[in-house]
């Protein structure tokens, strides 16, 4: 992995997540909101959900690649996905 | 220190570092409780041109539990926003700041107050002005009036202040962290020298204060102002915290991107809890969790390291303490559950058996015109550990408690060592740079940068 900074990784990771989310059928704001309802860890009010998805940065964090655990943060929300395929694609994106 | 730089992680993040917490029935408004949460420790007042300020990227919270619970039933959240008037200057101010709207004041802070009651958020106010820091006679010539103007009453009745104050916590830092030396007793230390008077290590420094004055009935579980000290409804638990977003990214142009939920990085209930009870390896973890998760720290209260060190550092002075091997039920009550009815006459601040480090205040006990700085140990039921007032000598109180002075409350068979009830680091509130105020926000005017003196010249 030549000349690849953590910042670039996270940027590319964000792109990877956006692609992954679309592939999972969660690409609409409503879809994201529903996913957040199922798995969110935040205590923030639902009023913030959805509105930030298209305007705020999205951060993806592959906490444990082997287990497929991917944490996605957008606005004040955090959604934990157990998705080995998504994790693999982000890891792959980090190497190119 | 009470909680200044008390943990490895937050010592590198002073903007989010809780330093002291006070909670008391307001002496001049007895139907209210005043809660003061301090942050940003050891501010050398001359530290410009980028003087000390709250973090726009930090959530500052004051939490209250009631109804004999250890989770927050009520949270007041303070969020800050910094505003620059003039982006062409490096200066904090370009002339005298004579009011909170002065056009000479370049870098200002404003804040919002949100009340979160059982998960429901209510924005109480926004755009509230902080005072400037105290720079000197040319920049901030009438500092007290600037600070007075920054006391705000929000529409729901709470009175708030957020800004710089003089450090009110008095402690002999230099000696205590030199192998537990207490200057008045250093002739008895393992490495002895002549006994001396204490030196207030925080004198001359400032902090940033968030002060909140609330009607008692807004804090209790049943919405009343209790009058029976024996009632469980009379006790509230208080702690403060600071949180940051889970993710922070540094962009190449200097911008910072934050995302994710709040993560707690600092908290404070009882003074000195994380500082001297929790081992260094667990301090950052303690800062990250709420009091309701404190069961894993009970072992450190039951057998505090400092109680084992005192007999070693002061040979022959604490033989009874050295021989005491039982769990310290007295400290568990004082720090983690509150003191039940029947232990101290006319007093209780029990919040149930669940261990949680909270400052517990019995709001049915009125303030007194003749406070004793040793609080309940001195027979003053309105003082620490019934909440905490600025003038309470919490260093001496906790030293004495850890040395065994409070063991007989729960174990009458124990006889404290003679020194236990005498311990002090030799500092008092009179060592502060200026006296406390008689009214809100009680902590006094910060030391001006122009007036500050390097410690070796003081």
Region B79-87 average pLDDT: 97
Residues A42, B261: C-beta atoms closer than 8 Å: yes
Angle made by CA atoms B344, B273, B1, in degrees to the nearest 5: 115
Q: Is the confidence at residue B217, as pLDDT, over 80?
A: yes
Using CA coordinates, name the residue in chain A closest to B259.
A75
pLDDT for A50 equals: 45
Mean pLDDT taken over chain B: 97
What percent of chain A shows pLDDT beyond 90? Answer: 36
CA-based nearest distance B223→chain A, Å: 25
Region A13-19 average pLDDT: 37
pLDDT-derived band at A54, boundaries 50, 70, 90 = low
* Residues B63-75: tens digit of each pLDDT: 999 999 999 999 9
Q: Which of A78, A79, A80 to mutate to test the interface with B (most CBs of B within 10 A)?
A: A78
Of A26 and B342, the structure prediction assigns the larger pLDDT to B342
pLDDT-derived band at B1, boundaries 50, 70, 90 = low
* Residues B149-204: tens digit of each pLDDT: 999 999 999 999 999 999 999 999 999 999 999 999 999 999 999 999 999 999 99
Region B228-244 average pLDDT: 98
Q: Is the confidence at residue B286, as pLDDT, over 90?
A: yes
Region B221-233 average pLDDT: 97
* Residues B11-26: tens digit of each pLDDT: 999 999 999 999 999 9
Cis before B49 (ω within 30): yes
pLDDT for A22 equals: 29
Residues A74, B119: C-beta atoms closer than 8 Å: no
Residues B260, A7: C-beta atoms closer than 8 Å: no
Q: Is the confidence at residue A36, as pLDDT, over 60?
A: no
pLDDT for A48 equals: 44
**Angstrom distance (rounded) from CA B199 to CA B452:** 17
3-state helix/strand/coil string of chain B = CCCCCCCCCHHHCHHHCEEEEEEEECCCCCCEEEEEEEEEEEECCCCCCCCCCCCCCEEEEEEEECCCCCCCCEEEEEEEEEEECCCCCCCCECCCCCCCCCCCECEEEEEEEEEEECCEEEEEEEEEECCCCCCCCCCCCCHHHHHHHCCEECCCCCEEEEEEEECCCCCCHHHHCCCCCCHHHHHHCCCCCCCCCCCCCCCCCEEEEEEEEEEHHHCCCCCCCCCCCCCHHHEEEEEEEEEEEEEEEECCCCCEEEEEEEEEEEEECCCCHHHHHCCHHHHHHHHHCCHHHHHHHHHHHHCCHHHHHHHHHCCCCCHHHHHCCCCCHHHHHHHHHCCCCCCECCECCCCCCCCCCCEEEECCCCCCCCCCCCHHHHCCCCCCCCCECCCCCHHHHHHHHHHHHCHHHCCCCCCCCHHHHCCCCCCCHHHCCCCCCCCCCCCCCCCCHHHCCCHHHC
Residues of chain A numbered 11-40 and touching chain B (CB < 8 Å): none
pLDDT for B457 equals: 74
What's the pTM value of the predicted model, to 2 decimals? 0.90
Q: Is the confidence at residue B59, as pLDDT, over 80?
A: yes
* Residues B141-160: tens digit of each pLDDT: 999 999 999 999 999 999 99
Q: Is B123 on the interface with A (CB under 8 A)?
A: no
Q: Is the confidence at residue B137, as pLDDT, over 80?
A: yes
Q: Is the confidence at residue A45, as pLDDT, over 60?
A: no
- Please state the domain extents for chain A: 6-93
Contacts of B56 (CB under 8 A, 6+ apart): B79, B80, B81, B82
- Ranking A32-46, B81-95, B323-337, B444-458 by mean pLDDT, the lowest is A32-46
**Considering only CB atoms, which chain A residues are within 8 Å of B247?**
59, 61, 73
**Considering only CB atoms, which chain A residues are within 8 Å of B249?**
7, 10, 57, 59
Q: Is the confidence at residue A27, as pLDDT, over 80?
A: no
Q: Is A45 on the interface with B (CB under 8 A)?
A: yes
Q: Is B253 on the interface with A (CB under 8 A)?
A: no
Q: Is B254 on the interface with A (CB under 8 A)?
A: no
pLDDT for B2 equals: 74
pLDDT for A5 equals: 40
> How many residues in chain B?
458
- Take residue B434 and report the two structure tokens written for it: 């200026």
Q: Is B255 on the interface with A (CB under 8 A)?
A: no
β-bridge partners, B260: none
């Amino acid at each position: 992995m030549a000349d690849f900074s953590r910042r670039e990784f996270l940027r590319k990771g964000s792109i990877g997540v956006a692609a992954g989310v679309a592939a999972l059928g969660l690409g609409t704001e409503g879809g994201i909101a529903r996913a957040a309802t199922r798995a969110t860890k935040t205590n923030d009010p639902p009023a913030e959900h959805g509105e930030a998805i298209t305007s705020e940065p999205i951060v993806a964090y592959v906490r444990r690649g082997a287990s497929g655990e991917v944490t996605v943060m957008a606005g004040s929300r955090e959604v934990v996905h157990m998705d080995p395929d998504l994790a693999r694609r982000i890891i792959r994106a980090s190497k190119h | 220190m009470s909680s200044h730089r008390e943990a490895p992680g937050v010592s590198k993040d002073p903007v989010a570092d809780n330093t002291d917490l006070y909670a008391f029935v307001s002496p001049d408004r007895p139907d209210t409780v005043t809660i003061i949460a301090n942050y940003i420790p050891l501010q050398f007042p001359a530290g410009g041109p980028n003087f000390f300020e709250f973090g726009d990227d930090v959530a500052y919270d004051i939490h209250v539990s009631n109804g004999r619970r250890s989770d927050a039933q009520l949270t007041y959240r303070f969020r800050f926003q910094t505003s620059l008037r003039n982006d062409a200057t490096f200066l904090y101010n370009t002339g005298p700041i004579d009011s909170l709207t002065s056009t000479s004041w370049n870098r200002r802070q404003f804040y919002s107050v949100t009340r979160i009651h059982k998960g429901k958020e209510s924005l109480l106010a926004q755009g509230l002005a902080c005072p400037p820091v105290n720079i000197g006679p040319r920049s901030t010539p009438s500092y007290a009036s600037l600070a007075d103007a920054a006391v705000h009453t929000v529409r729901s009745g709470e009175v708030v202040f957020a800004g710089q104050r003089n450090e009110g916590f008095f402690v002999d830092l230099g000696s205590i962290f030199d192998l537990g030396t207490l200057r008045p007793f250093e002739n008895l230390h393992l490495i002895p020298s002549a006994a001396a008077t204490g030196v207030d290590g925080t004198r001359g420094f400032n902090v940033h204060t968030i002060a909140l004055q609330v009607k008692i009935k807004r804090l209790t579980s049943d919405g009343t102002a209790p009058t029976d000290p024996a009632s469980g409804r009379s006790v509230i638990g208080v702690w403060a915290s600071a949180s940051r977003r889970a993710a922070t990214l540094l962009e190449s142009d200097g911008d910072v991107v934050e995302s994710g939920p709040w993560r707690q990085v600092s908290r404070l209930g009882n003074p000195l809890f994380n500082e001297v009870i929790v081992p260094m390896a667990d301090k950052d973890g303690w800062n990250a969790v709420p009091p309701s998760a404190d069961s894993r720290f009970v072992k450190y209260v039951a057998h505090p390291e400092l109680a084992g060190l005192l007999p070693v550092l002061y040979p022959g002075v604490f033989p009874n303490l050295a021989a005491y091997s039982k769990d310290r039920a007295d400290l568990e009550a004082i720090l983690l559950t509150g003191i039940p009815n029947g232990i101290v006459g006319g007093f209780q601040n029990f919040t149930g058996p669940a261990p949680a480090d909270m400052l517990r205040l019995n709001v049915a006990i009125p303030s007194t015109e003749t406070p004793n700085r040793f609080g309940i140990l001195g027979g003053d039921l309105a003082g620490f550990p019934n909440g905490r007032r600025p003038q309470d000598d919490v260093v001496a109180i906790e030293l004495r408690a850890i040395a065994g002075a409070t063991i007989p409350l729960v174990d009458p068979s124990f006889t404290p060592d003679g020194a236990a009830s005498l311990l002090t680091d030799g500092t008092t509130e009179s060592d502060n740079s200026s006296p406390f105020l008689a009214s809100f926000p009680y902590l006094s005017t910060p030391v001006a940068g122009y007036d500050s003196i390097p410690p070796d010249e003081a």
